[in-house]
């Protein structure tokens, strides 16, 4: 009985997370833009748009949210999403030599496949192993994002916009996986994970 109460408590919290946090973030965007000078507002909007424009970044951030959805405890869900976000922000400030940029881009595409395989094998892999993959992916994506920040933008505002977009994508991935599993599609998680892995191969071949 205690387990059932805890489970339903988590479900209630998750529903509030989906229904309150995501709309709140979207409503905050215009307020954030209005609260800064024009240059900062443009940089923030540019940062928000950036993750949506690259398929590798888009899929990776959705994948982290889907991995979070495999966990029952809200604390673990938030830990994985926050681990990626913090790693992403840290990676932006890591500089690499120009000759390593193509390698970093390949690794970013590869990270999509690793996240997809983690989703496929989520029940078999340890939490520590998945956490390491999420953190490493966040750092890699942050490094590449840092390289791609336009020179005429305010970097701090760009990063804030990018992190807000990442949160939206994480929550979208979480909701997406729960939506499929709630329809009793036993293959949904497996097929989604394998689809991410296949997308990674296509991304690498396209580079």
Average predicted confidence (pLDDT) for the chain: 82
pLDDT at 177: 92
Q: What is the dihedral of CA 137, 141, 143, 147, to 10 degrees?
A: 160
**Structure confidence at residue 207 as a pLDDT band (50, 70, 90):** low
Are residues 125 and 71 in contact, defined by beta-carbon separation less than 8 angstroms? no
The set of residues, in sequence order, having a beta carbon less than 8 Å from that of 34 and lying 6+ positions away, is 41
The stretch 163-175 carries a mean pLDDT of: 94
Tell me which of 115 and 155 has the higher pLDDT.
115
Would the pLDDT of 144 be above 50? yes
pLDDT at 9: 45
Confidence (pTM): 0.78
**What is the rounded distance in angstroms from the CA atom of residue 78 to the CA atom of residue 27?**
21
Instruction: Take residue 84 and report the two structure tokens written for it.
Output: 């990626």
Q: What are the helix (H) ranges across the chain?
A: 2-16, 22-34, 38-53, 55-69, 74-92, 101-120, 127-148, 155-182, 188-206
Instruction: Take residue 7 and report the two structure tokens written for it.
Output: 């489970």
pLDDT at 16: 52
Tell me which of 27 and 74 has the higher pLDDT.
74
What does the domain layout of the chain look like in residue ranges? 2-206
Distances (CA, A) of 65 to 156, 172, 206: 24, 7, 25
Q: Which three-class secondary structure state does DSSP give residue 92?
A: helix
Would the pLDDT of 124 be above 90? yes
Would the pLDDT of 45 be above 70? yes
**What is the rounded distance in angstroms from the CA atom of residue 73 to the CA atom of residue 69?**
9
**Structure confidence at residue 43 as a pLDDT band (50, 70, 90):** confident
Would the pLDDT of 31 be above 70? no
pLDDT tens-digit readout, 175-196: 999 888 777 666 889 999 999 9
């Amino acid at each position: 009985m205690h387990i059932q109460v805890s489970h339903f408590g988590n479900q209630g919290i998750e529903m509030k997370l989906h229904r309150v946090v995501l709309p709140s973030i979207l409503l905050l965007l215009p307020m954030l833009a209005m609260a800064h000078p024009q240059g900062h507002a443009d940089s923030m909007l540019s940062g928000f748009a950036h993750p949506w424009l690259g398929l590798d970044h888009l899929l990776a951030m959705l994948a982290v949210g889907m991995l979070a959805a495999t966990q029952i405890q809200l604390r673990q869900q938030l830990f994985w999403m926050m681990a990626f976000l913090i790693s992403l922000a840290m990676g932006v400030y890591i500089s690499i030599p120009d000759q390593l940029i193509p390698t970093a881009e390949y690794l970013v595409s590869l990270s999509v496949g690793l996240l997809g395989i983690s989703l496929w094998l989520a029940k078999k892999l340890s939490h520590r192993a998945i956490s390491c993959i999420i953190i490493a992916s966040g750092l890699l994506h942050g490094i590449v994002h840092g390289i791609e920040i336009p020179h005429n933008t305010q970097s701090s505002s760009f990063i804030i916009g990018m992190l807000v977009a990442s949160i939206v994508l994480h929550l979208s991935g979480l909701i997406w996986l729960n939506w499929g599993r709630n329809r009793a599609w036993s293959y949904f998680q497996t097929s989604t994970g394998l689809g991410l892995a296949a997308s990674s191969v296509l991304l690498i071949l396209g580079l």
